[in-house]
Structure 1
Amino acid sequence: MSQATLAYVRVSTKEQNIDRQITKMLELGIEERFIFIDKASGKDFNREQYQVMRSIARKGDLIYLDSLDRLGRNYDEIIQEWKHITRSIGADIVVLDNQTLFDSRKFKEMNELGKLMEDQFLSLLAYVAEQERNKILVRQKEGIAAAKAKGKHLGRPAFNLNSLTPDTRKKLEDNYERWSRKELTSVAFAKLLGLKKNTFYKIIEQYKHEIAAEV
């Protein structure tokens, strides 16, 4: 079986751009069909395309990564996956942004000493990758806390009485008494206002309080 050159590309979210990583791999002469792409968190290895690549990798194959954190960000699992690919499968890994240190072919040439050196470098870099992920999580939490402290609403904006359009507001005012006298059902009233059930009852409660405050 001929040896294959593979590449693994990952970004954490669907919004992030993969073009830079893909361009690097194409410039290395890697065929598009051998570039495996995930848009998923690096917290674990339950990623569809990573698992596909892992399943087809064979002894003698060469796998390129842009950086070690593209492989993952979990300290223990990065080491486990690296060793599985390079030692159990017998493929090789090259990390482009640190190719001097992270080219498993070089470590294999040094036999047992190479394994020892590889373990040391891998532990250091995997630890750095995990710490960076932890920093990202901390920054996210701090950003959310700061936004809340400033009174900013995170997520979908809350819908309330003041969110109604003038036309919907008028329909509410014109038909509220009919609804109160049960001449208009809640389902029909909500449909008239174009509101979902939960939102309808929330708006009605707010309107009741508004009326009471005016009395």
Structure 2
Amino acid sequence: MQTYAYIRVSSLDQNEARQLEAIQELAIPQKNIYMDKQSGKDFHRQSYQKLLKKMQRGDLLYVLSIDRLGRNYKEIQNQWRYLTEDIGVDICILDMPLLDTRQYKDLLGTFIADLVLQILSFVAESERENIKKRQSQGISAAKAKGIRFGRPGAYVPKNFASLVKRWRNRQIPLKVLLKACSISRSTFFRRIQEMGL
């Protein structure tokens, strides 16, 4: 029997330290700790897929909380059944002792664990939807204040219009113009269109 742990944060800039600290207390070998820095909307995650290929019947998987496993109600339910029934591993959700498949193996225990799993899966997806809604509202509010998102536009010199005119009159090659403006070919043509030149 092998013991594994799965850690997930939603993006590269989020910190996994809290989860890692809780997992390290269990003395799980480092090679058996899998981590993804990716959204929990589905289970198409590189490290998680590697973990699935490693685990075998009788193994044990630790996850700090159900929302670290995923944030999609139906997919969490399906994945839970796949792990426990198809592969045959036990799962222990550290912050929810009722979600420990090593215990409560009788009918009542299974029923209670299923209810708790459904409720927490629902909460995880609801929180994901709320996060998306808050992000959207924040972006809209920022745009209304004139804040721009994305890469800043490439700078073009003040004499850009006259350079374009010289290029059109074949007085200057495109390669030289691009170098003089320090812009790419695609940016050059985009600026011409944006500026109506």
Q: Same fold (TM over 0.5)?
A: yes
The structure-2 alpha-carbon separation of the partners of 1:87 and 1:169, relative to structure 1 and needing over 3 Å to count, comes to same
Of 169, 172, 193, the match for 1:184: 172
Number of residue pairs the alignment of both structures matches: 197
1:8 aligned residue? 6
State the superposition RMSD in angstroms.
2.3
For residue 98 of structure 1, give the secondary structure of its aligned residue in structure 2: coil
Deviation at 1:183, TM superposition (A): 1.6
Rg larger in 1 or in 2? 1
2:85 aligned residue? 87
For residue 106 of structure 1, give the secondary structure of its aligned residue in structure 2: coil
Structure 2 letter corresponding to 1:92: D
The structure-2 alpha-carbon separation of the partners of 1:50 and 1:187, relative to structure 1 and needing over 3 Å to count, comes to same
For residue 78 of structure 1, give the secondary structure of its aligned residue in structure 2: helix
The structure-2 alpha-carbon separation of the partners of 1:178 and 1:75, relative to structure 1 and needing over 3 Å to count, comes to closer
Structure 2 letter corresponding to 1:148: K
Deviation at 1:84, TM superposition (A): 1.8
Deviation at 1:133, TM superposition (A): 0.5
**Structure 2: tracts of 5 or more residues without a match:** none
Q: Distance in 2 between matches of 1:147 and 1:75?
A: 31
Q: Distance in 2 between matches of 1:57 and 1:208?
A: 60
1:115 aligned residue? 110
1:213 aligned residue? none
Deviation at 1:129, TM superposition (A): 0.5
TM-score of the aligned structures, taking structure 2 as reference length: 0.88
Q: Distance in 2 between matches of 1:52 and 1:202?
A: 43
**Structure 1: tracts of 5 or more residues without a match:** 210-215
Q: Distance in 2 between matches of 1:147 and 1:208?
A: 28
Deviation at 1:23, TM superposition (A): 2.1
For residue 63 of structure 1, give the secondary structure of its aligned residue in structure 2: strand
Deviation at 1:206, TM superposition (A): 7.3
Structure 1 letter corresponding to 2:182: G
Q: Distance in 1 between matches of 2:193 and 2:51?
A: 56
Deviation at 1:200, TM superposition (A): 2.6
TM-score of the aligned structures, taking structure 1 as reference length: 0.81
Q: Which aligned runs of 4 or more in structure 1 are off by greater than 3 angstroms?
A: 172-181, 201-209
Of 125, 134, 140, the match for 1:139: 134
Report % sequence identity: 41
For residue 9 of structure 1, give the secondary structure of its aligned residue in structure 2: strand
1:1-215 maps to which residues of 2 (within 5 A)? 3-99=1-97, 101-108=98-105, 111-159=106-154, 163-164=155-156, 168-169=157-158, 172=160, 178-179=166-167, 181-203=169-191
Judge which range, 200-209 or 56-65, deviates more: 200-209
